[in-house]
């Protein structure tokens, strides 16, 4: 099965995978080869997938992709996906492969956004509220990705 993940800034991933996990409104959608055709909205969160070429391959070992349990994890913003059972194409608002910010910066951004959400809630602007919540979900996914990065770095230094 082939996976392509696009943002407005370009292609994030283009390769063969064994399966994909995508956050949706229903829950985490697992897509395996020969899945029924499907179009769905994806929510901000962690997309995880098992590449056919595992971590040890030259292609993936030279990348910035972060692995958790032999799956690549990417923090994505809201988007749309389509699968025909052999291909999965995702278009997402934003994607983080490896967080460049430190935890303190991300936590500060999260606190600022939570304050902004409280102010928006008081104004009653539903559209702004939805945008702010989507940004908060993406920021939370970035924090989860940073946790994976720290865990991987800790394991590499202890070996």
CA distances from 91 to 57, 62, 94 (A): 26, 24, 9
What is the tens place of the pLDDT at every residue in 32-41? Answer: 999 999 999 9
Give the model confidence (pLDDT) of 84-106 as tens digits.
999 999 999 999 998 888 899 99
Residue-range domains of the chain with CATH? 2-96 (2.60.15.10), 103-158 (no CATH)
pLDDT of residue 56: 60
Q: Render pLDDT for 48-81 as a digit per residue (tens, 0 to 9).
A: 999 997 756 555 555 688 888 889 999 999 999 9
């Amino acid at each position: 099965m082939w996976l392509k993940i696009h943002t407005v800034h370009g292609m994030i991933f283009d390769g063969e995978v064994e399966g994909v996990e995508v956050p949706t409104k229903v829950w985490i959608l697992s897509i395996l080869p020969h899945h029924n055709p499907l179009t769905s909205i994806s929510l901000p969160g962690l997309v995880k997938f098992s590449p056919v070429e595992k971590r040890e391959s030259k292609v993936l070992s030279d990348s910035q992709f972060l692995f958790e349990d032999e799956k690549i994890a990417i923090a994505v913003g809201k988007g749309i996906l389509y699968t025909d059972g052999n291909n999965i194409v995702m278009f997402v608002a934003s994607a983080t492969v490896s967080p460049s910010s430190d935890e303190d910066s991300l936590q500060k951004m999260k606190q600022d956004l939570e304050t902004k959400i409280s102010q928006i809630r008081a104004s009653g602007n539903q559209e702004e509220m939805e945008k702010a919540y989507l940004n908060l979900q993406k920021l939370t996914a970035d924090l989860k990705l940073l946790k994976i990065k720290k865990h991987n770095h800790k394991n590499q230094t202890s070996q």
